[in-house]
Each structure stands twice: as C-alpha cells, then as structure tokens.
Amino acid sequence: MNMNIMNVDYSTKIPNNVNLAEDRQVLKALEGWHPGYMDWWSDMGPEGFQESLVYLRTAYSVDPRGWAKFDYVRMPEYRWGILLAPQEENRVIPFGEDYGKPAWQEVPGEHRAMLRRLIVIQGDTEPASVEQQRHLGKTAPSLYDMRNLFQVNVEEGRHLWAMVYLLQKYFGRDGREEADDLLRRRSGDADSPRMLGAFNEATPDWLSFFMFTYFTDRDGKMQLHSLAQSGFDPLSRTCRFMLTEEAHHMFVGETGITRVVQRTCDAMKEAGITDPNDIAKVRALGVIDLPTIQKKLNLHYSLSLDLFGSEVSTNAANAFNAGIKGRYKETTIDDDHQLKSSTYPVMKMVDGQIKMVDEPALTALNMRLRDDYTQDCVKGMLRWNKVISTAGIDYKLAVPNTAFHRQIGEFKDVHATPDGLLIDDATWAKRKNDWLPSTADGDFIASLMKPVTEPGQFASWISPPKVGIDNKPGDFEYVRIES
C-alpha cells in the first residue's frame, strides 16, 4: 500500500486521496459536476448561514488515529473531498458465489446495473437529508447545536461526492447522467422526489432532527456496513471511510435526545410533577413531555424500518449472491457466507395473525439487517431510560412493534398498535393521534423552537451537553453568525 493514500491531496480543486491529479478524465468530469453541486448547495443547503463562519472538522487523512482538523470555515468554502479508506492487501470477496476470490478493482460487467443502482440509491439519500434540514439553522437551540447540524450537512454533502466519484470513475456516460440526476431530484418535490420515502418527509423541528439523526442515519450506518463488505473494492473502501464520519451523526441524535429527556425530567423534578402523563402541566414548563417524545420516536422508527425494504426480497438475495452487498459485520459471522441452505425467522402476516415464519436466509437478508438495526437502536434508548429512572419518573421509552405504521413490506396493508395488536381502520383513525405526533403536538413543539445565539446559552427545552466539541469550553462561539 502506498502511504500517501493516508493523506489527502489538497492541490487540486477537489481534495482527494485517489490520485485524481493523474486521472485526468475523472478529474475533468468531477470539475464539470462541481458548479452544479455548488448551485445545489446555495439553493438547498442551510438557509441563511452561507456566510457564517462555522467551527467545522475537515478530513485531512484517513488514518483513524487522527483524520480531521477543526477550524472556522464558511460552508460554501468547505473542502468536500473524495476519500477512500486504505486498500487492504490481497482482500478477497467475503460472501456470495465468488466467496474467497480476489476483490474486484473494476466493475464486473454482469453486475454493472445492480451496482450502479445501489450506489445511486445510497448517493440520493445524502443530499436529501441536507434538503430536509435546510431551515433548522434558524431555530437552533444553541450555537453548539447549530454547529453540529452544519457539520452533519457538510458531511452528507461529502458523502454525495463519494458516490458521485464512483459513478463518474466506473460507470462512464451512465454514471455521469446519474450524477447529474442526484442534483436534480429534491426532497418532497411532487415531480422529482428523492428515491426513498423517509427522505421526502419534512424535518420541521429539532426534535425531529435528533430523531432523524438517531434512527434514519442509523439505517444509513447499517446500509454502509453492508456495502463496506462489498466485493467491489472501491465501494467497500468508500463506505469504510464514510462510516468514520457517520458516527458523529448518530452521536448528535443520541446525545440530542438524551439532553431533551434530561431537561424535561429536571423541569418536572423542580416543579414537583411526578406524573409524566400530566402533559399540560409539563408543557407549561417550556419543555417537551415524555409521551410526545415517544410519539416522535414511533414516527421516526417506523419510517426508518421502511428503508430496509420488504422482509423477503429477491433483490437482496441477488446482491448477496453477486458479492455486492453483504450482511452487517459479514466477516465476523460464523457460517459459510453463501447461505445455500440456512433459514432465518421472519415476522409475517399468516391467516390474519402476526407469526414468525422460517424463510430461506438468502431472501430474508433485509429482515436480518433490520433486526441488527433494531438491536442497535435499543442500545441508545437504554441511556434515555436511565435518565428518566434516575430522575425517579415512572416512564419508559420503547420502540414500537414492527407492524406499527408501515408503508412497505409485510405490514403495509394492516393497522397495528405500538404493542403489535391488530386493529381495524376505524380504531386506527380514532387512536392514531395517541401514537403519532398530531398537528397540535407539532404546533406545540414549533412554539418552543426559538433561536438561541448567545454563546453558552441553551433553549428552555434542552440541557447543555456534558462536553463541548473538540473539548471547547461551554461558552465557545461555535458559529460566528455576523461575518
């Protein structure tokens, strides 16, 4: 492995560690794409803060020991780069029909269409979330939170570059057309929406943003992990480095929700309120009541489950057999990595009841990944529930049943309660607002969304973080708005 792969070349317009200076054709294609990207960023990136100086981290290396440096930068001047994790010597394909053969450095012709589609879908989610979050800067509960939002935004932008590089380098004219289309679609647009449902939903407030970064970005983590196993080595290396950045996005979600819960519990304790369901009293304190936090959780978790696709899927089986998309942490799983005769339990509708059915493991790969996802989600929730129990409040946040509020897969045509009880349409219509955020809930949360721009100050509904970004003091000016 040549060592310069570790460090990033900043001499070209596009920072990279893939030797773009010597890859004239791809460099030219990317430089041609760059102005369209900048137009997209100024149209659809964070609104009202393009001139602000933001304390951001920029990757300068892919060495896990020290890969980013922090400094003030205006977002349009952020150096979006193309960064691949170091190549593993003699890497082999870790699963599927070609298990054990050398990993591909070029796209295998027979898998070209499938690979391109997976890269496009992954690429499409990255700008979508920037579009969904573009108004949030105006209601940030603190400069610390505003900075975290903008860090997530510029990195989603970089992840778009990562996928566009693969399209431009390995897929010729088709790839260039797909790269242009990634800038043409818009989240929630009636005529050219983003490809996946959750990425066309509005992100109207900061609680939604924290839920999105916790639940939806965690789906992204699972997808990136399975693509990081890919037999197509450039995709594997791209995703491995993206995962390094993705960790911060989930940290923003997990700690954000922890701080909202903490503030609510503290306010309840100070006011001597012990009943979490005394919603009017709790809201009068200027904090978000726990049942409303649970409703938001129900919404974002169920939307995120839909991102895994159908429980039983021939597409997933084909991608696995082809060696293109593996399982979460594939190389640590103790089996034949070909799944010729294995089965996996899948939750299905059978004769009007929810039952577990053994399906061939190959076609149940989406289900397995979703199960891994749910286990991962539950870990962070233990921390939120610890905050609640430590405060002496009798309440537990929980993920709803898989059948609850689904638009895709086995349960798209049924209604179920968060406990997994099947109900009819009339009961659903009557009780839906008990389980999902109502218009009134949304209005209440919106009423709390007042910007706080004094360094070290925080909105009434959220606690300060335990420690600053880059170990900065509590009153550090993370964003210089007047500049």
* Residue 9 placed within a domain: no
Tell me the mean pLDDT in the region 335-344: 96
pLDDT in the model for residue 203: 96
* Residue 483 placed within a domain: no
- Domain tally, the chain: 1
Tell me the mean pLDDT in the region 24-31: 94
pLDDT in the model for residue 63: 78
Model confidence pLDDT, tens digit, residues 345-361: 999 999 999 999 999 99
Decide: 150 and 46 in contact? Cβ < 8 Å.
yes
pLDDT in the model for residue 190: 96
* Residue 4 placed within a domain: no
User: Is the pLDDT confidence value at 5 over 70?
Assistant: no
- Enumerate helices (H) and strands (E) in the chain, giving the number of each: 13, 7
pLDDT in the model for residue 1: 38
For residues 11-43, one letter each, b for 16 or more C-beta atoms within 10 angstroms of the residue's C-beta and e for the rest, the string is: eeebbbbbebeeeeebbebbeebeeebeebbee
pTM: 0.96
User: Is the pLDDT confidence value at 133 over 70?
Assistant: yes
* Residue 421 placed within a domain: yes
pLDDT in the model for residue 68: 85
Model confidence pLDDT, tens digit, residues 357-373: 999 999 999 999 999 99
* Residue 8 placed within a domain: no
* Residue 278 placed within a domain: yes
* Residue 13 placed within a domain: no
* Residue 122 placed within a domain: yes
Q: Assign residue 345 the CATH number of its domain.
A: 1.10.620.20
Positive or negative: CA dihedral 185, 188, 189, 191 = positive
Model confidence pLDDT, tens digit, residues 220-257: 999 999 999 999 999 999 999 999 899 999 999 999 99
The Cβ of residue 279 has, within 10 Å, a number of other Cβ atoms equal to 16
Q: Which residue range is the domain that position 416 belongs to?
A: 18-478
User: Is the pLDDT confidence value at 383 over 90?
Assistant: yes
**How confident is residue 207, by pLDDT bands cut at 50, 70 and 90?**
very high
User: Is the pLDDT confidence value at 11 over 90?
Assistant: no
pLDDT in the model for residue 2: 43
**How confident is residue 483, by pLDDT bands cut at 50, 70 and 90?**
low
User: Is the pLDDT confidence value at 3 over 60?
Assistant: no
Could you give the C-alpha distances from 481 to 39, 49, 50, 233, 453, in angstroms and in order? 22, 7, 10, 42, 8
Tell me the mean pLDDT in the region 450-473: 96
**How confident is residue 390, by pLDDT bands cut at 50, 70 and 90?**
very high
pLDDT in the model for residue 13: 85
Model confidence pLDDT, tens digit, residues 162-192: 999 999 999 999 999 999 999 999 999 999 9
